Structure 1
Amino acid sequence: MAQGFSAALAGEVRARRAVLRLTQHDLAQLAGVSERFVRFVEQGKPSVQLDSLVAVLETLGLELKVAARTSQAARAAGQPAENSAEQ
């Protein structure tokens, strides 16, 4: 699942950077991170530093949101699904 998230994030960052006509170097300088870091994000590297990632996303006008969802762990703990109707 983490790989799916990393790949989706990578695609969004690449696409937004292209729309803004920024090079990886430009983005790195504007965000205050290394060009290597930008490459890692765009390659979907699953382990990146969160504060640096947030700086890149903010520079591109993107945001990272965290939302509750039913996970395997929640189901195992007997918690109801987020979207299930109560009776």
Structure 2
Amino acid sequence: MLNEFPDRLAADVRARRKSLHLTQRDLADIAGVSERFIRFVEQGKPSVQLDSLLSVLDTLGLELRITPRTSTAVRALAGADAGDGGAAE
């Protein structure tokens, strides 16, 4: 699931940029980042600088949200924490 994030982010950024009729150069200039950075985001590069990404998202009127999810891995971790008797390191 973690590997899906860069691809989804890339598709969302690309779609929003195009819906606003912006070129990659236009977006880069407005967001204060390089055109190369925009290409990296739109290609789904898994490691990009967070502050630059947030600037691009803000320019496009998008936001990054962190929300809890209930996946098998999260439930397994929660179960492991509950089973340790509350012991601290």
Q: Same fold (TM over 0.5)?
A: yes
Runs of 4+ in 1 over 2 A off after TM superposition: none
Q: Quick one: distance in 1 between partners of 2:2 and 2:34?
A: 23
Partner residue, 2:87? none
Q: Quick one: distance in 1 between partners of 2:50 and 2:43?
A: 16
Q: Deviations over 1:32-62 (max 9, x none)?
A: 1110000000000011111100000000000
Gaps of 5+ in 1: 81-87
Gaps of 5+ in 2: 83-89
CA RMSD across the alignment: 1.7
Cα displacement (A) at 1:73: 4.6
Q: Secondary structure at the match of 2:56?
A: helix
Instruction: Work out whether residues 27 and 56 of structure 1, in 8 Å CA contact, stay in contact via their aligned partners in 2.
Output: yes
- The amino acid that maps onto 2:66 is V
Q: Quick one: distance in 2 between partners of 1:2 and 1:76?
A: 16
TM-score, normalisation: structure 2: 0.82
Partner residue, 2:76? 75
Cα displacement (A) at 1:3: 2.1
Tell me how many residue pairs correspond in the alignment.
80
Cα displacement (A) at 1:69: 1.4
